[in-house]
Amino acid sequence: MKTKYLQFNDKDLTAAGELIRQGELVAFPTETVYGLGANAFNVNAVKNSYSAKGRPSDNPLIVHVYDKSQIYDIAREVSSDAEKIIDSLLPASLTIVLPKRDVIDDCITAGLDTVAIRMPLSVQARKFLRYANVPVTAPSANLSGRPSPTTWQRVAEDLDGRIAAVLCGQPCGVGIESTVLDLSRDEPLILRPGIVTPQEIQSVLHKKVTVVTDPKAIVNSPGVRYKHYAPRVPMALDVSGDADKLARYYDELTRKGYNPVLLVEHPEAFGGRNVRLIGRADEEVARSLFENLRVLETQFDYIIASFSSKTQFAESILNRLTRSAGHNII
């Protein structure tokens, strides 16, 4: 199939909305990463989005909306906690999990009786969703397992010829996926950390919010099990920031014949070696993380990342880095 590259003007947005309603796949920008959109009310379209990405069918999708009223069309129950979050935090880089209505097919939720819903902060994303005028399922617009795309060019790299259209919007400002908050049970649970921190959620709910640290133990967020965000070359992760240790690890790899690169917070400490800045502030690290991995995998044959920030937001970056490195922590 020939993929169309569409712009943010009325004519192209109308075409994008029409494609979605007809059951075609359209990639679009959000503030977190680019999403691969399908009409949530069209089972074939949703199933095609799994196959275009090569995504396992037991990894549920997030349904995207542009208006808060749409949440009530797809969620069967909106608890008072959920109402508080909807009223005071949305739109945001935050996904909420609620009991689902029957209009949401099992293929979206991988058979769960809950549905994940997000109203993105990105004005471009909500504009596209408004033109689509149906709820839109959207996993990240990459081949399954690869680092998520934060520019339309990266979407093209993975999905050109496999989907109907790409909406060419801005690069993503946040750079990592939304926080996933399960509000379908008595106790609020963060299933995936993101830029919206437990503290922010707690300050709205006035109750303890538990962060699930071992998602493998949780049956109800299957997707967190899978290999994810991985570059094409081996990767190691250090969380101490110890420059001597990193230099030793690098030198050992070069002795073994590798051409490695250090992706670190303080590049000035590694004279003579291949080295790149991972970012000065957490926000910058997140924004450029997946793009860094996609660039470095083409230039080097081993990535050694180091990230030692200990803020609440840093937790979400560490979560992605750990999985990119396939849990190879040094």
Do 302 and 260 form a contact (C-beta atoms < 8 A)?
yes
Do 128 and 13 form a contact (C-beta atoms < 8 A)?
yes
Of the residues 147, 223, 260, 279, which one makes contact with ligand AMP according to CB under 6 A? 223
Please report whether residue 97 would count as binding ligand AMP according to CB under 6 A: yes
**Rounded Cα gap, residues 146 and 229, in angstroms:** 5
Of the ranges 41-49, 85-93, 221-229, 260-268, which one interacts with ligand AMP (CB under 6 A)?
221-229
Of the residues 221, 292, 306, 319, which one makes contact with ligand AMP according to CB under 6 A? 221
Nearer to ligand AMP, 47 or 273 (CB): 47
- Name the residue among 216, 201, 197, 174 with its Cα closest to residue 323: 216
Map residues 41-80 to x or -, x wherever contact with ligand AMP holds by CB under 6 A. Answer: ------------------xxxx------------------
Please report whether residue 92 would count as binding ligand AMP according to CB under 6 A: no
Nearer to ligand AMP, 157 or 301 (CB): 157
Do 147 and 140 form a contact (C-beta atoms < 8 A)?
no
Q: To the nearest whole angstrom, how small is the minimum distance from the Cβ of residue 41 to ligand AMP?
A: 17
- Name the residue among 299, 300, 291 with its Cα closest to residue 320: 291
Q: To the nearest whole angstrom, how small is the minimum distance from the Cβ of residue 131 to Mg ion?
A: 24
Kindly tell me the burial class for residue 60, based on how many C-beta atoms sit within 10 Å of its own C-beta (0-12, 13-18, 19 or more).
Answer: buried
Nearer to ligand AMP, 74 or 263 (CB): 74
**Backbone torsions φ then ψ of 229, nearest 5 degrees:** 60, 20
Of the residues 140, 179, 316, 324, which one makes contact with Mg ion according to CB under 5 A? 140
**Rounded Cα gap, residues 4 and 1, in angstroms:** 9
| Helix (H) or strand (E) run with residue 83 in it | helix 80-88
Which residues between 269 and 328 bind Mg ion (CB under 5 A)?
none
Query: Cβ contacts of residue 146 below 8 Å, gap of 6+?
Result: 158, 229, 230
Nearer to ligand AMP, 65 or 247 (CB): 65
Contacting residues toward Mg ion, per CB under 5 A: 140
Contacting residues toward ligand AMP, per CB under 6 A: 59-62, 97, 109, 112, 114-116, 139-140, 177, 180, 191-192, 220-221, 223-224
